[in-house]
Amino acid sequence: MQLSGAAIVLEVLREQEVDVIFGYPGGAVLPLYDEIFKQNHIRHVLVRHEQAAVHAAEAYARSTGKVGVVLVTSGPGATNTITGLTDALLDSIPIVCLTGQVPTHLIGSDAFQEADTVGISLSCTKHNYLVKDVSQLSGVMREAFHVASTGRPGPVVIDLPKNIQLMQSDFVSNQKLVERKSYTVPLKGDEDAVKKAVKLMASAKKPIFYIGGGLINSGDDACRALRELVELTGFPVTDTLMGLGAYSGNDDRYVGMVGMHGTYESNMCMADCDVMINIGARFDDRITGRTDAFSVGSKKIHVDIDASSINKNIKVDVPIIGDAYAVIEQLLKVWKDEACEVNQDALNSWWQQIEQWRGVNCLAYKQKANQVARPQYVLDKLNNMIAGKDAYVTTDVGQHQMWAAQYLKFNKPGRWMTSGGLGTMGYGLPAAVGAQIAHPDDLVICVSGEASIMMNIQELSTVAQYRLPLKVLVLNNGYMGMVRQWQEMMHGDRHSESYMEALPDFVELAAAFGIKGLRADKESDVESILQEMLDHDGPVFVDMHTDKVENVYPMIPSGAAHYEMLLGPDSKPVAVDAKKSAGLV
């Protein structure tokens, strides 16, 4: 049948089972918006800024396992998505972003609202397209969803000139995707490498599973398979910021998040282990510290679907390129077929050492009665109050993000959404919008700071328009907290432009949008305010005033090895036996 380009786009979106689009209209995409108006199958959510559209689509994708879809106009509409696209690329989030473009005959003429979207987005997308032939549009659309969602997921841009949206072309529904030999996605790992990995695991005396966001991207089955492998082996588990929830945060074998603000016991395990099994993590700089001093005494197994991540930062002994679920299933099969057994005496001794490290109690804090609340206290209370609820949590970036990662426990994948790779302030609120749209009946909480929330605070208007019952919890200390912390530690305590002045009255601002606003000024207010926030059946904005000078600990200082942690404001980098066993002295 003959359809316009705009109608073809909507038909393919229906084929791909898209049920929501996050976007903002403009002249170059009006044909598409006209088609949206004519149908009732796909919902459109009108954000207030195009960056917010991408963040909302990211959280929608992360919490559902589907591809997030964005629709924006040409020029500034497209360029406003670049931060979100880069965020999605670094965190491996499947996004298809449809951008309007000036008519093909005007491309290159500096026409009104023209921008080289393909050129600008080249380095921050997994792939991008400029459609110049309407007969190729349906094929491009189908391929874009395939590329975005397979292999290492990521964002794909489709640039759509306005005349292509208006042209007519034959359309065949559910047409088979033409496979490209240049894009092949490995699933199963090399059998010899898998057997070698199992042999290393069985011989390990001090093993550790190190898991990341790639495990969550592989799906819920991958997380269940990992739990089976952990039960089978009894090995401890640590995860990255992006991996929170892939393994239960309340399980005894979980030793906490690893990295710059990870737990003492997790970083010590990584430093002192003899076999490290990395599944879906990148060995990024926030995990490794000094790469030359990173777990130098261990044998490393690295499972990743992205071949370019293997040996990029840390040289490994057993690389396995493949999908996390498929490879874990292979590991399980070989382990069972060969009737492997762990070295139980050595493993018991390893757990005794881990319990000693746990005894340091690195996340302990003291909250004085009737004093300003410490942020750890607030999030600890929140964690206790939402235990048993299937809550979805988004954050912005900074101190509040790290405290949330440390004190909130996640037992399922897809419940924790934060900007890990890019560290994007302004991510949290629009992400909460996307998560709430995806899960309208579930609890969604955005944990933010007073600086981050200002980056995309206009999305309160989106929250109000769609009557989204999400909760915003702002830990307000009057500073760009993480910037202040680094200035204090590394720049002579010179607070250059990190103090926030002229902040709005957040309670009154929320009220201006028709949203319930609450404020807490001291410790005694915290529990009642949080309870009121959770009990209210509509959106709530909480301005939680917290200690202005509190810093995040533990912390690996910049330039230090991953075992050289600061455990508090008066501590020196911890010198531990791991340094000796790692062969550094």
Enzyme catalytic residues? 50, 112-113, 162, 482
The DSSP letter of residue 151 is S
Q: Give me the residues paired with residue 416 across strands.
A: 393
**Contact in structure between 52 and 456 (CB atoms under 8 Å):** yes
Residue with tokens 């949290």: 428
Radius of gyration, CA atoms only, the chain? 25
Coil, strand or helix at 295: coil
List C-alpha distances in Å: 428 to 68, 246, 376, 377, 465: 16, 20, 19, 21, 18
Determine the straight-line distance between the first and last CA of the chain, rounded to whole angstroms: 74
SS (H, E, C) 277-292: EEECCCCCHHHHECHH
Backbone angles phi and psi of 366, in degrees to 5: -120, 125
Backbone angles phi and psi of 266, in degrees to 5: -70, -45
Among candidate residues 212, 235, 353, 393, the one with its CA nearest the CA of residue 287? 212
Please tell me the number of Cα atoms within 13 Å of 76 on its side-chain side. Answer: 6
List C-alpha distances in Å: 179 to 97, 142, 143, 176: 21, 11, 9, 9
Q: Is 104 exposed, middle or buried (0-12, 13-18, 19+ CB in 10 A)?
A: middle
Residue type, 128: N
Report the alpha-carbon distance of residue 72 to residue 98 in Å, rounded. 6
Coil, strand or helix at 451: helix
List C-alpha distances in Å: 323 to 278, 302, 339: 13, 12, 24
